[in-house]
Amino acid sequence: EGCSAPKYDVSNLHAGAVELFVKDNATLRYSTIENWSKNMYNLNTKRCVVGKGGTIEWVSGSFGSKVSCLYPMSILNGEGAHAE
């Protein structure tokens, strides 16, 4: 994943979306590091559907920005599905 907003003297919007699928008995660690300019409005939606016995690990670091909002969602579909 990569994006940029090179005009640093005006307001910018990043409206990101990520969709992940973890199959039965699988594990996924999704990590992001973001470093935004001071005029950035950063709105992120991240969603994962996790199968039976599966695990999603969310790791996120967001620095800078005027406003930052992260909305992570884990849909646990089955016995033993787990989110961290």
Does the residue 71 lie in any domain?
yes
Does the residue 5 lie in any domain?
no
Tokens of 11: 């307001």
Tens of pLDDT, residues 11-55: 888 899 999 999 999 999 999 988 888 888 999 999 999 999 999
Does the residue 34 lie in any domain?
yes
Residue 63 confidence (pLDDT)? 86
Identity of residue 79: E
Query: Taking Cα atoms as reference points, which of 40, 28, 33, 23 lies closest to residue 1?
Result: 33
Question: What residues have CB less than 8 Å from 22, skipping those under 6 apart?
Answer: 28, 48, 49, 50, 51, 54, 55, 56
Tokens of 81: 């599905």
pTM for this model (two decimals)? 0.81
Domain count, the chain: 1
Residue 43 confidence (pLDDT)? 93
Structural domain for 28, as ranges: 12-76
Does the residue 81 lie in any domain?
no
Residue entry with tokens 């935004």: 36
